[in-house]
Structure 1
Amino acid sequence: MSNNMQNTHTEHQAADAPENPTQSAESSLHNDPRVRFVEETSKYVYTGDDGISYEWDDEKHAWFPMWDENLIESQQAAYGPTITEETTSTPRQKGKRKQIYTSEEPQLKKPKAEPKKRPNTSVYVTGLPRDTTVDEMKEVFEKYGILMEDLATGQPKIKLYKDEQGNLKGDALVSYFKEESVDLACNLLDDSDFRLGVPSKIRVQKAVFQAKEKPPNSETEQPDQKLKLDKKVVQKKRQKLEKRLDWFEEQSGKKADKFARVVVLKYMFTLQELEQDPTLLLDLKEDVRGECEKLGEVTNVSLYDLEEDGIMTVRFKEPESAELCIKKMHGRFFAGRRVEAHIMQGKEKYRESKSQDQTEEEEKKRLEAYEKWLESQH
């Protein structure tokens, strides 16, 4: 406010203002209708003949005008064009009652775009045996997708957690390249036995990450050193990984989609059982087909009679049926053996009789065994 405005009110107070209300007798205050005590502010207030309200300042022992719209209008009328809209708007923005003195709409800040959500490609595993190895984890979890590689070491990103003494705690973090692999691993591995024939139920869930608090005495040089190390290797490692993944998408896209429909069943038979019963091969294929057709359309069932692990494969029309098959067959007992089931990776090369050049002696033995079985049936 200008000095002219302040002087005007000072002169007005000297001529018309009541005396110090804190020193006046109660009777004089009651006789002055202009003075009143405001309980909310614990201050004395009086209204002058000009209609402007004044408030008593105990520290300065003087009456000061109360700033409101009526006061502003009266000052503008008194000084006319000398008080411009521009000059009055500046102090208003600094005052506590900014919204009283301006008719402008508050400026709304443009909301910041939400950061793109980073895909969760990791699973958290609990219930692991205390002697679990990274290679063992890799063998189990790579069946459900491509494992992410550590950029510095080239090893799969599998972390086995340890306690302060360096002993395994029984939990781990496994990172995949694609988010879809997380759902597949959770659906098919959760609440399953980690090791065949050993009661070792594991839980597999989507990993939940929390912000890590920085230790109070942590050194600041280590992150810088790590960044320097990463810059030297990250670019080459990432390019190598991208080339590998590009090749997978381009060359193996259709192949991967095809293998997603194929389920591998292990320990379905023994070689001794096939030798003792030549018809077991056909009967077993029919039984497996009948059981799997309950889950979806089956296009092919194969039995690899030269594999000691008793390998069979079932090809479905839809990948969803293959997932249901794994959920149903994995860990199930068949002829006293616990079956293992997983999606075919495309790297497997299983052996069967029709795909090998057998010697005449081997073929002769098989025919003789079949003839003996026929004779025993009569």
Structure 2
Amino acid sequence: MSEPPAYLDPRDPAVHLDQHTQRYVWEGAEKDWEWHGRLPVGGERQTSGRWIEVISQEEINKQQEVYSVAGVDETVPAAPVIKRQQGKKRKEPEPAAPKKPKPNTAVFVSQLPLDAVVSEIAEVFSRYGVLLENEEGEPRIKLYHDNETGAFKGEALVVYFKPESVELAIQLLDDTYLRASKGVCTGPRMHVERAQFQNETSADTSEKKPRELSEAERKSLKKRMSKMNSKTNDWDSDSDSERPKAQATARTLILKKMFTLAELDEDATLLLDLKQDVREECESLGEVTNVVLWDREPEGVITVRFRDPAAAQRAYAKMDGRYFAGRQIVASLTDVRPKFRKTAHADDEDDENDERRRADAFGDWLDGQGEENK
């Protein structure tokens, strides 16, 4: 047969279902035909429809060649079609932008003294930023206790108002003593790290809708946020007024009350030990290029020069007001060459000769002690 029957019979061996077009095709000797109309139900033949000849792509191309117009690209849609397509694209909704993660403003503190209380933790951590407050105006600090005994575990969560305070607190309080400013440097040192919350590591991405706040709660929250912003401005201005004006470019840290002249005379090795201790402490904050102990200054001056001004700023914030050997350190910053008094020897930028001289003096002192004991 060169033409299909007037009906569709799925049981006809010349009929098959095209999986791509989902239409029934009748394969003739020369041409194929597609069924357009109602589809058969239950395998019965269907008469509501008709067969339409399938035109191959080759025949379509031949037709286009016959009716083609010079200078017209048949592959480009007509202007009305392009306009309609562009209109559809404009109407399509743009995908929603991914939500920015909520900034982390909390630090987790461990290895605290077991008798530590919220007030002293707040006093120490508020030096590096404004602490977030609850409805009662109290700092958001959570102490963790043992579930069985109820005893304090030496762990706490401290929440700041701004995320910038987190990094500053980690840099300046990690591996320090909670009561160092009061001269108490015993027991374990604090470990301060960025707080990790469950929604940051959990694979469950489902979001819980926040509880709808009442009008009174919204007013209270707005009032607290305004108060926090005011405190932040005051904290920033106070910090700037306490720091030297040259802070932005200063690379030299000046430390006073680090020693007394009497201590240097009594212990010939103190100079080397002090310089080494200060260098190790400051190198944890940035690259140190020079440490000088000014051994003729009654105020006990040591200067530390950093490669980077930002490291000098961090060292200033960490060292100023700390207690050392029972004395409270007074720190400042400068961007000029210090002019303090010291024993005349090598250039201030290279004091190896001074260390050698002190070591020789210590050797002479040992020799003298040996002669006396003979």
TM-score normalised to the size of structure 1?
Answer: 0.48
Tell me which structure has the larger Cα radius of gyration: 1
Question: Per residue, is there more helix in 1 or in 2?
Answer: 1
